[in-house]
Amino acid sequence: MEVSVILPSYNRYPLNLLSLYALENQTFDLSEMEVILIDDASTDQTEDLKEYQAPFQFIYLKTTQNIGLAAARNLGVKMSNGKVVVFLDAEMIVDPNYIHNRYRHHLDKENVVVIGGKRSGKLYTYLFPKYGKKQINELTHLVSTKSVVKKRIEKSIKKKVDSKKVRAIIKKLKHPVQLLNKEDINNFQQLDLFTVKKDDELLAYLCGDLDTSPLAWWACLGNLSMTRSFFDSLEGYEEAFRGWGPEDAEFAYRLYKAGAKFVSEPALIRYHQEHEKHKSLSEEDDRNWLLFMEKHPDLSVCIRDLSFIIMKMDYAFMDNILRESLTLKEEYNGKYKKFEHSLIMLFKEIRILKSQNKPISHLMQSSGIETDAITKQLIFEERDEIESYGKYMNLIELFDLLTKI
């Protein structure tokens, strides 16, 4: 077996069925492809997929209790037989050449990790009663700009629709309403009509710089592929993350540290089927990110929380900071450890304050740096010495920003 597609799923029926239909259309030799669906103790109709008849080898396994995304992925790989593993979210619709365009990158290099290109989309295959404001606005735009969407909704709900009524229609739904079926999935080009484009800003920034940028692993989330042997060498996803959290980011970080060569394949086209959003999961997310920071006290992990201060992901600023940090360590053999550690402490404090719903302020005090006069003095002496070199100005700008909050 050449390829194993790992499809973890929790309460994603019938979206996961449409995802399977898309996999049926792959140009890759289906006799050399298996799909392993891990039903993570779903309470919906996902169990119906036990009877799914596929043109490829299909394995369905339902866990007796919810084990989480990381453990579900690991279980899927453990059951797999393929030389290459492809991880796919349960609600993803992929183009017919998707598996082929991944597989060809793994033929001669062990440490290649293939991620998607910067082009993807949000696909509306169903109408759900609990769509959020942003989703309703996107549907409204589709109805007002694409007559085929308007007509399909009218056919599905059996009443006239205009853009002003979309919100009211959604709110009155008693159950999900199907817009697209297997025939539509088979006509992949048509799906673009029901899609809201979504560009990956990070990949757009990185362009062809995945080989050198310390931000490269940030782009490696969720839907990726690698050889089974490379996956095994990292011992899989970290199962200590429970609930919503960065298990994919933590795995990507370890891939980066293990010398992975990240490849962005522009020919990969994938659509994320829109579904009802969970209630706020920020508490789980904060807890898991703190665990991530504890496991890997690295500036490239912590600096993501800069967005809580500057309110926008300034990738160029972050990239320059991390490049300067790496150069500083290399040129001075880790001399400025107190300075570097203080940045991590301050970022960790940002996440702690956020998790406690407290204002992000007085970081020096709450982190304990302010009350330790000797340590504070040493940190600022290192800061001034680094500034005197005249080539670490982004790093100094970050330090000054954090210490003044």
The mean of the pLDDT values for the chain is: 94
Q: Distance (Å, rounded) from C-alpha 251 to C-alpha 245?
A: 12
- Map out the domains of the chain as residue ranges: 3-115+201-265, 126-179, 297-403
pLDDT value of position 257: 96
Across 125-237, the runs of DSSP E, i.e. the strands, are: 126-127, 177-178, 195-199, 225-227
Question: Residue 282: pLDDT above 80?
Answer: no
Reported as a pLDDT band with limits 50, 70 and 90, residue 200 is confident
Question: Residue 207: pLDDT above 90?
Answer: no
% of the chain at pLDDT higher than 90: 84
* Gyration radius of the chain over CA positions: 23
pLDDT value of position 163: 85
pLDDT value of position 286: 86
Picking from 336, 331, 324, the residue whose alpha carbon sits closest to that of residue 385 is 336
pLDDT value of position 283: 72
What does pTM read for this prediction?
0.93
How many Å separate Cα 179 from the centre of its chain? 26
User: Is the omega angle on the peptide bond into residue 297 within 30 degrees of 0, that is, cis?
Assistant: no
Q: Are 113 and 251 in contact (CB under 8 A)?
A: no
Say which CATH topology domain 3-115+201-265 has.
Spore Coat Polysaccharide Biosynthesis Protein SpsA; Chain A (3.90.550)
Per-residue pLDDT tens for 51-95? 999 999 999 999 999 999 999 999 999 999 999 999 999 999 999
Length of the chain: 405
Mean pLDDT confidence for 204-219 = 87
Q: Distance (Å, rounded) from C-alpha 42 to C-alpha 53?
A: 20
Per-residue pLDDT tens for 28-45? 999 999 999 999 999 999
Mean pLDDT confidence for 311-331 = 93
Reported as a pLDDT band with limits 50, 70 and 90, residue 191 is very high
pLDDT value of position 203: 85
